[in-house]
Structure 1
Amino acid sequence: MRAIRNSLSWLLALFLIAVFLHWTVHPWPEPAVGQVIFYDLPGENIVFSSLAEGTGITLFEPTGRVITGALELLAAFMLLIPPFRKTGARFASILFLVLAGIHLSPWVGVELISPVSGESDAGASFYLTVAALTASLLLLYIHPEKR
């Protein structure tokens, strides 16, 4: 039973690390403009520029974006190391819960609409956030305790 829990823990951790890396530094081939935290120019990231516009708080873009990206990379690093995995899963759960709340707020919305092309992502970013939140909560339950 412990081997199964350990394998599932690695699988969930690697999925969450892939999500964090995809959002911060390593986009899938040909990413949409405004989808990658560290590659977007100031004012280009859809989530944070919408949040800055909607709330009127200019610290969201680019300062909040860079801080969020650094926190996501820290969570990915913690998920990679088994003794810190449970703490990383808690941290990831908080990050994903906040991001889901931002998506559900009136400032951003579930569907991200690109200001450049006017195309919608059909809620893909929100659904990935919910899937990652579910995976991080499951990892909290699955990761085996120390002997």
Structure 2
Amino acid sequence: MRGLRHLLSLVLAVFLIAVILHWTLHPWPNPKDGFVLLYDLPGEHIVFAMLAERSGIELFEPTLRVGLGCALLLAALAMVFSPLRRFGAGLTGVCCGVLLAAQVSPWGSVELAQSATSETLDEGSQFYLTMAVLTAAALLIWVHPDRKTRSG
């Protein structure tokens, strides 16, 4: 049973690392403008620019966006190593919770524009991906096996 938990933990960690790298550093071919945390220019990221505009708090873009991106990269790095996997999953869960709270706040929106210049909406796909990552992080925290305790 312990081996199965290790395998499931590894699969969840690989999924989370892949999504985090996609969000922060390495967008898939032909990325849409405004969806990569660390590559977008200030004011271009759709979620954080919208939060800064609607709230009037300029700290959202780019300061909190870059901070969130760095925290997610730290979480991805922690999930590479088995002893730190729960910490990485917890940090990912906190970051996703912040993103979800921002999207459902009065300043945010569940449905986002598909690009900075587009009027069409993504029908909540970013919101649902964030929910999936939060769920996978919680599952990883629960599934990852504890360290073996030594008796005596």
TM-score calculated relative to the size of structure 1: 0.96
Letter in structure 1 aligned against 2:108: V
Deviations 1:79-132 (A, max 9, x none): 111110011111111111111111111212111113312221111110000000
Residue 57 (structure 1) aligns with = 57
Paired residues in the alignment total 147
Residue 121 (structure 1) aligns with = 122
**Residues in 1 aligned to 2:119 and 2:24: alpha-carbon distance in whole angstroms:** 23
Residue 70 (structure 2) aligns with = 70
| Structure 1 residues 1-147: aligned runs within 5 Å | 1-113=1-113, 114-147=115-148
Percent of aligned pairs with the same residue? 52
Contiguous gaps of at least 5 residues in structure 2: none
SS in 2 for 1:100: helix
Letter in structure 1 aligned against 2:43: G
Deviations 1:5-49 (A, max 9, x none): 000000001111111111100111111110001111110000110
**Residues in 2 aligned to 1:62 and 1:7: alpha-carbon distance in whole angstroms:** 37
The answer to whether the 8 Å contact 2:33/2:116 transfers is no
**Residues in 1 aligned to 2:105 and 2:71: alpha-carbon distance in whole angstroms:** 21
Contiguous gaps of at least 5 residues in structure 1: none
**Residues in 2 aligned to 1:28 and 1:108: alpha-carbon distance in whole angstroms:** 25
TM-score calculated relative to the size of structure 2: 0.93
